[in-house]
Copies of this chain bind each other. A is one copy, B any other.
Amino acid sequence: MSDTRQRLIDGAVQTVRDHGFGGASARAIAATAGVNQALVFYHFGSVNELLRAACVTATEERVQTFLHRLDEVTDLRALLSVGRELHTEERALGHVTLMAQMLAGAQSDPNLAEWTAFALNLWIEPVERTMRRLLADSPVADVIDIPGLTRAVCAGFVGLELFEGVDPAGAESALDALDRLGALVEVVEDMGPVARRALRAKLRRSERKKGEPPRPG
């Protein structure tokens, strides 16, 4: 791949991280990358196309480095811990910020929305596989919807990322609270067979009590 192309992609990531989606103009990105402004249009055609490429390729690179860490995870609390590592490292590198900014910008741009969803799915899929593995023999496995829960967790992390930008202390307390919640889930996970059966029965009754959720499968 051309050197200039890569410099522009890296420059786009850094510019979005430092100056937000709105501040990521062709001039600003080119200045960060140390190349001429016109090259943005030569290599990518438009600023949005550059941002799209930056979002997808940067995400692909980062997901790759996290795959083996996810494979090593053996319980939910460890998954949350990896999530927190990810949060810290990615914040420094600016890739989750890029994702959050892409999501915000994509709200009113259907074309951008499509590619943002694609990039986000690069994160969602391995996390979903990990959650499926961890919850395979859990007493709650047949009552929770793993694809949906995975998306809730990933979307929640993006929200936390944005929240940290306006209230760092609040975001830290939120992550700590989730860690404590992880302890609670761990306790449920560690239950003996008798208690598990009791929980299972209770869950089924509770399920019937309420109106059927839209996605029973």
Contacts and interface: CB of A to CB of B under 8 A. Distances in A.
Count identical subunits in the complex: 2
* Binding site secondary structure of chain A: helix
Contacts of A109: 20
B104 A104 contact: yes
Contacts of A10: none
Interface residues of A, number: 73
Contact of A148 (B105, B116, B174): B174
A171 interface: yes
Contacts of A22: 21-22, 105
A148 B164 CA distance: 12
Interface of A: 18-23, 77, 97, 100-101, 103-109, 113-114, 116-117, 120, 124, 140, 143-149, 151-152, 154-163, 165-167, 170-181, 183-184, 186-188, 190, 199, 202-203, 206-207, 210, 213-215
